[in-house]
Amino acid sequence: MTGTPGTTKPALPKTLDEALDLVGGAGEPEDLFGPYDGTPEACLRSGMRTYRALARLLHPDAVPEGRKAAAQAVFARLSDLWTRYQQTITGVTGRQVVITTRKRAYAVGGERARGDIATLYKVAHAAADGTEICALLKMPRAVSDNDLMEREATALARIAREGDRKYKAYVPALIESFRHRDAATGAERRANVVERVRGFFSLAEVREAYSDGLDARDVVWMWRRLLVALGYAHRAGVVHGAVVPDHVLIHPQDHGLVLVDWCYATFLERGTDGRYGAATEH
């Protein structure tokens, strides 16, 4: 197979046999995904296109029954090479996972929290100026909950778009929402990346730490800020739908509050006067 003129990256295969030969003969990640030149984002975008094209041909579920064993072995090899390529591009060492989207490459760290449907992981990605930005990756444990993740992304995007920016600190910013395919199982999940806030504790944690109750003055500022957060969302046409202690984060020193987990949100219809009214399912 010949590569594109001026590059050392091979042409994409069109058949299973070509894909088997290409991946099987690759000694290093750059043999498949191209040299480590250009910006990290450009390399990863190009590499992702190659990976997806090869994965479609090699995934065991997509090949004839008699060739599944061979395809599975080469598919595992493809996944390993792709992981190593991403780790080299992003400077990640060891066995840390890297998830690449059309916009960013996320180095995935440890688990931050577990909710009723999803697990939150610490992630980091590079800004345009090279600065490392820390965030949270929210991944559902079951593909059947993809719709709830989409609902959250829709809610956060709508609040950011239509809400009063003066109150934006009350709701986590959505950085990105994307579909992630598990290289081992082929399962596709909808994942959300949201900003990571520091110094905050959930009301569930507060309740556990102060089992005898809180000072009434603290209860007042928490309640007032919760009402502000709800009003901010309602004026943008979004109802949270699950205001429980685990979803309310407070900052004890700064008296800050963030309302998280918008997976159960409902959406209000805009009336003829331009205001939002009754809730509607999306």
Residue-wise pLDDT tens digits, 14-34 = 899 999 999 999 989 999 988
CATH number of 97-195: 3.30.200.20
What is the CATH code of the structural domain delimited by 16-90? 1.10.287.110
Q: Which residues make Cβ contacts (< 8 Å) with residue 269, sequence separation at least 6? A: 237, 276, 277, 278, 279, 280
User: Per the structure block, which two tokens stand in for 56?
Assistant: 């479609």
Pick from 268, 80, 115, 269: nearest CA to 194: 115
pLDDT for position 84 = 86
Concatenate the DSSP letters of all residues of 193-247 into one string.
EEEPP-S-EEHHHHHHHTTT---HHHHHHHHHHHHHHHHHHHHTTEE-S---GGG
List the one residue out of 141, 59, 133, 60 whose CA is nearest residue 103: 133
> Which stretches in the chain have pLDDT values below 50?
1-7, 94-95
* Fold annotation for 201-280: Transferase(Phosphotransferase); domain 1 (1.10.510)
Ranges for all domains in the chain classified under CATH 1.10.287.110: 16-90
Q: Write out pLDDT tens, residues 120-171.
A: 999 988 776 667 889 999 999 999 999 999 999 999 999 999 999 999 999 9
Q: Look at the pTM and tell me if it is higher than 0.85.
A: no
Per-residue H/E/C for 26-88: CCCHHHHHCCCCCCHHHHHHHHHHHHHHHHHHHCHHHCCHHHHHHHHHHHHHHHHHHHHHHHH
What gap in Å lies between CA 114 and CA 131, rounded to an integer?
28
- Residue ranges, CATH 1.10.510.10, the chain: 201-280
Q: Where in the chain is the domain with CATH 3.30.200.20?
A: 97-195
